[in-house]
Structure 1
Amino acid sequence: MAPVLVLGEALVDEFHDGPVAGGAPFNVARSLAALGAPVRFVSRIGADDVAGRLVLDSAARFCLAVDGIQRDAARATGRVSVHEDGKGGHRFEIHADAAWDHLEAPAATQAGIVYFGSLAQRAPASRAAIRATVKRVPGSRFLDLNLRPGTDTPALAAEVLMLADWVKLNEDELDRLLAWFEPGLPDLMARFALRRMLVTRGAAGYALYGERGSLLASGDGVAQPALVDTVGAGDGFTAMLLAGLSLGRDLAATLALANRYAAMICGVRGPLPADPALLAPWREALHALPQENRA
């Protein structure tokens, strides 16, 4: 089975009560590994700094191979200051010129699915490496559109959308795309030849659209009575979906499980539980899902 190839940033989220390893691609890759889905993660960290050691330690705990994590002797591991609003919400301050801004294209690119984001393309070196790699992968191309300051221009959005088969984004990001490019969802998807669009709506749930903007599936939000923060909830949803796709599980059942998994992430500090053993029931639930009916 060809792995999910995950490209992009690994960094440290700095909360008021301490640092936590993060970065959307790293969150997705760790979940995939813990859920028992084949994954190869390609990123870049500082050669020997505290934040980089935190990233490597976290990868090891989640049984994620680190052979695709490059070391940079000149630049430090990425850092993000997380400014919380006291209600579970947050604002990210992403510091510039990190090691992941200088990602090099990997030599091997065999993959059934490639996951890539827009944030890791803020600098020319990583942008070129990611795009060259995505173009070489014969499998599906899954874009995580993160319209953060510095990577929230119409030009960059158009460039990355043209590379994708699937795109995952939130409601605010969808509104911006509709304002920039096309006023309607069917025309937007047709313009960029998108096969699928996953819109995450936070507490309101999710919606999956197919070609011509047809609604394929949707679900209401799952309540989290012990909300800690929402960091990484969308990444958790994406990881479970990718795991189900890579393992050939029923799409509707996978989406429903991904929705519950995202709600669970909102009950822990940061993008993943500190103890990977807490993901064992989710792994069992994933592997118990029915196979996709290809008849």
Structure 2
Amino acid sequence: MAQATPLLVLGEALVDEFHDGPVAGGAPFNVARSLAALGAPVRFVSRIGADDAAGRVVLDSAARFGLAVDDVQRDPQRATGRVSVHETAGGGHRFEIHADAAWDHLAPPAAVAPGLAYFGSLAQRHAVSRATMRAVLKAFDGPRLLDLNLRPGTDTPALAAESLMLADWVKINEDELDRLQAWFEPTLGGLMARFALHRLVLTRGDAGYALYGAHGQLLASGEGVAQPAFVDSVGAGDSFTAMLLAGLSLGRDLTATLALANRYAAMVCGVRGPLPADPTALAPWRAELHALASQA
């Protein structure tokens, strides 16, 4: 069996504050925890407060999911990131992301091995972390996947363009695709050509997903998966991304990996927050991933 490709995950680790208590979150942290639980080799680079309650929530969650924290930096001046989650009827949510957190001041990590890299746009909101991430990504040897979360404050055409130019793959939702096409190119093929993207993964909520090739051609798609016990959609997209990255790292069949990622995201919609409270709930998903056929 071929050796798994190392995964580098860059970005924020924080605490989502729901009305009924805090839950560890941040898209990169969600992805990294899933990857660890799924048995993919992941290195997570982030920054939290040196000693605060939110940071302890982050570290405790990392430990429960088996995620190493060697590259989680401790900031002696700034606090661990916090997000107030304002919930709406039907399981929707609005995020209030508090400013000047530890993850805004990410320092360069030690030497990075070749492999696959994941990064987002939110962690680039501050000049310090933005410069660190771009330096790492420009020098990175291997494909880079961008999860373009267009949140208030990081939803500018300039930041989107600069991030897309660093990426080989991009994962976006339908609203984000509409915005990118309005900003840059009206056609999917034109958008991918402009930024030299190899693959684009479009998540469509309960309508499923689609994978497009370098010229905008449809390569794979799947219908939505119903979640009868819907709780919230927090972290569903991150779970999809994590399963996709795990499959790429392990060399699993891409079409089968995407279908599994679709079901994994639906499962997360049935739990509070971005991941099940009990990591053992992910064991069947890990087994199913590792049982997939290898990519031809």
Fold agreement, TM-score > 0.5: yes
Kindly indicate whether residue 93 of structure 2 is the aligned counterpart of residue 90 of structure 1. Answer: yes
1:2 offset after TM fit, Å? Answer: 3.8
Question: In structure 2, how many angstroms separate the alpha carbons of the residues matched to 1:3 and 1:251?
Answer: 17
Question: In structure 2, how many angstroms separate the alpha carbons of the residues matched to 1:112 and 1:248?
Answer: 12
Match of 2:123 among 120, 124, 134: 120
Question: In structure 2, how many angstroms separate the alpha carbons of the residues matched to 1:71 and 1:167?
Answer: 30
Aligned alpha-carbon RMSD (Å): 0.6
Q: Is the 8 A contact 1:109 1:136 kept in 2?
A: no
Aligned structure 1 segments of 4 or more residues deviating by more than 2 angstroms: none
The one-letter amino acid of 1:251's match is L
Question: In structure 1, how many angstroms separate the alpha carbons of the residues matched to 2:86 and 2:126?
Answer: 24
Question: In structure 1, how many angstroms separate the alpha carbons of the residues matched to 2:16 and 2:208?
Answer: 25
Question: In structure 2, how many angstroms separate the alpha carbons of the residues matched to 1:281 and 1:104?
Answer: 36
SS of the residue corresponding to residue 42 of structure 1 reads strand
Question: In structure 1, how many angstroms separate the alpha carbons of the residues matched to 2:170 and 2:40?
Answer: 20
Match of 2:223 among 215, 220, 224: 220
> What TM-score, normalized by structure 2, do the two folds share?
0.98
Matches within 5 A, 1:1-295: 1-293=4-296
Q: How many residues align?
A: 293
Question: In structure 1, how many angstroms separate the alpha carbons of the residues matched to 2:223 and 2:54?
Answer: 37
Q: Is the 8 A contact 1:2 1:110 kept in 2?
A: no
Give deviations 1:75-97, integer Å, cap 9, x for gaps: 00000000111311111110000
The one-letter amino acid of 1:17's match is D
1:111 offset after TM fit, Å? Answer: 3.4
- Unaligned runs of at least 5 residues, structure 1: none
- Unaligned runs of at least 5 residues, structure 2: none
Question: In structure 1, how many angstroms separate the alpha carbons of the residues matched to 2:185 and 2:260?
Answer: 32
1:136 offset after TM fit, Å? Answer: 1.5
SS of the residue corresponding to residue 215 of structure 2 reads helix
Q: Is the 8 A contact 2:5 2:250 kept in 1?
A: no
1:107 offset after TM fit, Å? Answer: 1.6
1:102 offset after TM fit, Å? Answer: 0.2
Question: In structure 2, how many angstroms separate the alpha carbons of the residues matched to 1:216 and 1:68?
Answer: 36
Question: In structure 2, how many angstroms separate the alpha carbons of the residues matched to 1:177 and 1:11?
Answer: 27
The one-letter amino acid of 1:24's match is A
Question: In structure 2, how many angstroms separate the alpha carbons of the residues matched to 1:222 and 1:229?
Answer: 15
The one-letter amino acid of 1:263's match is A
1:23 offset after TM fit, Å? Answer: 0.1
